């Protein structure tokens, strides 16, 4: 049973490319923490279909289940169980790719119905650590704008966006080239811009794991407090599911003694 789950998402429609390369560097940084009980899953948008939200409000009647059936459901389920999300995106029109935007729209809409509050505008707390990486063809090609969209998504989902050793996330550029391996080849030639991009990606992975461990440990320690308010239902569900799985396997790793005492009472 893993103590932390990292979902690394490449929102590029390409099989392999610069976004995927920087994402792999973030995963490398996560592994560098030495955290052995870290589950890592890479997810690619290549070959996936994400339709736009129809605003049909069908999720009102299905307890948050989107009525459109495509690859959304698979990624939503992976997103829900993750403690850490790292997004790596190519810049599209000074922003994020449309496929990812479709996923965000449907995720926010449907999960607000899955955890209804009855109060307009109030959203449940998913409390995931989120790291963001964006790359484009030029130096001023919208990387910061794309990362800002990712940060806005994180805040709307009541997650915690983090940075590595740069201001708001990791950025990269290919000096005007369409070469899908450009950043990697630039790094092999010790190009300063490519090395900075790699350093930023790796630091995002490292800090994401460290902060997720702190956050999750705190949530376990104060689980009784979280259970008092509906807004924390997603994180409570996540912890309860992990505890049930640990009980089945006999693995109590990561569960505080106070939490065990509460369950036995």
CATH of the domain at 126: 3.40.50.360
Residue 69: alpha-carbon gap to chain centroid: 22
**Beta strand 38-44 pairing with 84-90:** unpaired
Question: How do residues 73-117 score in pLDDT, each as one tens digit?
Answer: 999 999 999 999 999 999 999 999 999 999 999 999 999 999 877
What are the phi and psi torsion angles at 181 (to 5°)? Answer: -115, 20
Question: How do residues 23-45 score in pLDDT, each as one tens digit?
Answer: 999 999 999 998 888 999 999 99
> How many structural domains compose the chain?
1
What are the phi and psi torsion angles at 3 (to 5°)? Answer: -80, -35
Whether the pLDDT of residue 261 is over 70: the answer is no
Domain, as residue range, for 143: 4-264
**Confidence (pTM):** 0.92
């Amino acid at each position: 049973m893993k103590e932390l789950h990292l979902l690394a998402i490449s929102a590029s429609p390409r099989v392999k490319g610069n976004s995927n390369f920087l994402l792999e560097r973030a995963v490398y940084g996560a592994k560098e923490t030495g955290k052995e009980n870290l589950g890592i899953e890479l997810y690619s948008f290549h070959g996936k279909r994400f339709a736009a939200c129809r605003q049909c409000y069908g999720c009102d009647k299905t307890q948050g289940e989107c009525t459109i059936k495509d690859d959304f459901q698979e990624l939503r389920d992976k997103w829900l169980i993750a403690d850490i999300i790292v997004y790596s995106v190519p810049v599209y029109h000074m922003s994020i790719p449309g496929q990812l935007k479709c996923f965000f729209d449907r995720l926010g809409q449907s999960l607000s119905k899955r955890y209804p509050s009855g109060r307009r505008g109030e959203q449940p707390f998913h409390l995931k650590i989120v790291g963001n990486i964006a790359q484009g063809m030029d130096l001023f090609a919208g990387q910061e704008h794309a990362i800002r969209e990712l940060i806005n998504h994180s805040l709307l989902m009541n997650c915690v966006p983090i940075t590595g050793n740069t201001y708001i996330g990791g950025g990269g550029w290919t000096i005007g080239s369409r070469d899908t391996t450009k950043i990697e080849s630039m790094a092999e030639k010790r190009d300063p811009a490519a090395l900075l991009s790699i350093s930023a990606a790796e630091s995002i992975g490292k800090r994401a794991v460290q902060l997720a461990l702190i956050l999750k440990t705190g949530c376990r320690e104060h689980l009784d407090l979280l259970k008092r308010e509906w807004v924390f239902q997603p994180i409570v569900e996540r912890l309860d599911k992990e505890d049930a799985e640990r009980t089945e396997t006999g693995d109590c790793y990561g569960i505080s003694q106070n939490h065990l005492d509460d369950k036995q009472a």
